[in-house]
Amino acid sequence: MEIPLSRPCLGEEEKRAVLEVLDSGFLARSRQAECFEEEFARYIGVKEAIATSSGTSALFVALKALGVEEGDRVVTTPFTFVATASAIVQCGGIPVFCDVDERTFNLDPASLEDILKREKNIKGVVVVHLYGLPCDMEAILALKKRYGFFLLEDCAQAHGALYRGKWVGSFGEAGAFSFYPTKNMTTGEGGMIVTDDPELATRCRMLTNHGSRKKYYHEVLGYNFRMTDIAAAIGRVQLRKLDEANARRRANAAFYNRAFQELSPLVVTPEVPEGRVSVFHQYTLKVGEKRDALLAFLRNAGVGCEVYYPVPLHQQPFLREMIPNCSFPVAECLTDRVLSIPVHPQLQEDELKTVVSLVKEFFSR
């Protein structure tokens, strides 16, 4: 039995939506993208949403619109996908890495405050709601109020996640989402910027559309980061299915949590602090020195699994040259311990039981 790590939830509704766009003749950005933006903004509870060609372009455009330029220092986590930091570099900024909380894998507010006390020229902070779990937004917002930095939320893995009853993406100046095929909802490729600031939204729209808000009049240097109507049509259907799909992910995670209790402390299950609702983009175990052996064992048995992420960003070659002699012990330790196993909403009960059985078999040997 092959059990994939992820499987896009696409059905007849998405197919019909795409065919309607094809029949309309409007394949590039048009009414579908506009409707998707309106619906996504309403879902997150913000005033504005700007659809983009990818999650990476959403991060880049948001940072550009927030004014990041040559030499600006922006704090983020070293324990995430490279796009979070590369978007800062592409703007001319310098990533300032901050270690993470070993329980939640997210940016550690105490470590962030140490940086803010030490460095007086921090322009902004990019938090990442990793694996679908919201960061400690109360502590981070308190630091924002005290130190005055802009806050951008990287929500690429957290569509529909909640912190104290409020959707992620609605806390900072802006939030950036990804709709890559493995995400909790997809448009094939695509992204979305959300914000309550109409001026920031206008800048983002211009940057995604060749620096123009009126056809053939280009006010600033811009880019072609528009979302197509084909992608937006898929996204509108996916958004309607998101809450149900996330509920399935949480149910699958709860199944694993119960099943793996007896393996503690050899296997540590994900922690969701009070007041947070995770959407389990990944279900990530912490395993000791046998992590790589377990990875190989599961893959050999046909179970998709992955290490997110095997190399912390401060050790990536192009960033190591820019920021030498850095060490972040928690992030470095996690890269040797984490292992993500299938949690997607299309998993059947027999597949969940197979994964659990294999993990238990490995540790009983």
Nearby residues of 156 by Cβ (< 8 Å), 6 or more positions away: 55, 81, 83, 128, 176, 177, 178, 180, 183, 191
Burial (CB count within 10 angstroms: exposed 0-12, middle 13-18, buried 19+), residue 304: middle
134/153 Cα distance (integer angstroms): 10
Distances (CA, A) of 242 to 75, 132, 184, 185, 187: 30, 13, 7, 6, 13
What is the pLDDT, as a whole number, of residue 239? 98
Q: Alpha carbon 250 to chain centroid distance? A: 17
What is the pLDDT, as a whole number, of residue 26? 82
Output the 3-class SS for the chain. CCECCCCCCCCHHHHHHHHHHHHHCCCCCCHHHHHHHHHHHHHHCCCEEEEECCHHHHHHHHHHHCCCCCCCEEEECCCCCCHHHHHHHHCCCEEEECCECCCCCCECHHHHHHHHHHCCCEEEEEEECHHHCCCCHHHHHHHHHHHCCEEEEECCCCCCCEECCEECCCCCCEEEEECCCCCCCCCCCCEEEEECCHHHHHHHHHHHECCEEECCEECCCCCECCCCHHHHHHHHHHHHHHHHHHHHHHHHHHHHHHHHHHHCCCEECCCCCCCEECCCCCEEEEECCCHHHHHHHHHHCCECCECCCCCCHHHCHHHHHHCCCCCCHHHHHHHCCEEEECCCCCCCHHHHHHHHHHHHHHHHC
pLDDT < 70 regions, the chain: none
What is the pLDDT, as a whole number, of residue 25? 84
Q: What is the pLDDT of residues 257-308, one digit of tens each?
A: 999 999 999 999 999 999 999 999 999 999 988 999 999 999 999 999 999 9
Residue 242's closest CA among 157, 185, 187, 161? 185
Structure tokens at 2: 């092959």
Do the beta carbons of residue 50 and residue 37 sit within 8 Å? yes
What is the pLDDT, as a whole number, of residue 346? 96
What CATH class does 12-238 carry? alpha beta
169/365 Cα distance (integer angstroms): 44
Domain coordinates in residue numbering, the chain? 12-238, 243-364
What is the pLDDT, as a whole number, of residue 322? 85
What is the pLDDT, as a whole number, of residue 84? 98
What is the pLDDT, as a whole number, of residue 28? 83
> For 82, phi and psi rounded to 5 degrees?
-60, -25
Describe the crossing of helices 349-364 and 229-260 by its angle, rounded to 10 degrees.
50
Third-level CATH fold of 243-364: Aspartate Aminotransferase, domain 1 (3.90.1150)
